[in-house]
């Protein structure tokens, strides 16, 4: 079974750059990749926060959060 | 031809976690991945800096730097 990768973003320029490069570079054989726009899906902010996400863009690999550069704090999306 | 991915780190716990997850998740069909320990290869700090790397761990995808969480500032490795 492939592992889970969730890329959280908010449509900001830093987010788009990270999505186009980092999220796109993930091996789709190893990971099922989901891209979540937290500005459009505010109900999922709590889920991101529970995974340890503090800012976007962030990539959560099998439950472990990795913040990629800095676009916006999660608090700004609540 | 595959693109170039360089993962710069310094052996710190944050670096190791990012290497094990993010660097390992990169699609090897799309990218030729190189892992560089800047503490052991100080001559490459200038190269990382020229790519825009400010801290480690960082992943440079086709010349574009993405800082992953925060382990140590590049200045600490000079």
Residue A13 phi, psi (nearest 5): -55, -40
- CB-based contact, A25 to chain B, within 8 Å: yes
- pLDDT score recorded for residue B2: 87
**Tens digits of residue pLDDT in A20-56:** 999 999 999 999 999 999 999 999 999 999 999 999 9
What band does B1 get if pLDDT is binned at 50, 70 and 90? low
B21, B29, B30 ranked by CB distance to A64: nearest: B21
Reported ipTM: 0.94
How confident is the model over B55-71, as a mean pLDDT?
A: 98
- CB-based contact, B53 to chain A, within 8 Å: no
Residue A1 clears pLDDT 70, i.e. is over it: no
Residue B77 clears pLDDT 80, i.e. is over it: yes
How confident is the model over B10-36, as a mean pLDDT?
A: 97
- Tell me the C-alpha distance between B58 and B70, whole Å: 9
Subunit contact A27:B27, Cβ cutoff 8 A: yes
Neighbours of B21 (CB within 10 A): 19
- Tell me the C-alpha distance between B25 and A8, whole Å: 17
Residue B35 clears pLDDT 90, i.e. is over it: yes
CB-neighbour burial class of residue A30 (10 A; exposed 0-12, middle 13-18, buried 19+): middle
- pLDDT score recorded for residue B46: 97
Residue A2 clears pLDDT 90, i.e. is over it: no
The answer to whether the CB of B10 falls within 8 A of the CB of B56 is: yes
> pTM for the complete prediction?
0.95
């Amino acid at each position: 079974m492939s592992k889970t990768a969730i890329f959280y973003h908010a449509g900001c320029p830093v987010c788009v750059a990270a999505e186009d490069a980092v999220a796109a570079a993930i091996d789709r054989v190893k990971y099922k990749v989901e891209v979540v726009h937290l500005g459009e899906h505010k109900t999922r902010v709590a889920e991101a926060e529970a995974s340890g996400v503090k800012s976007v863009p962030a990539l959560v690999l099998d439950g472990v959060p990795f913040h990629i550069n800095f676009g916006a704090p999660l608090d700004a999306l609540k």
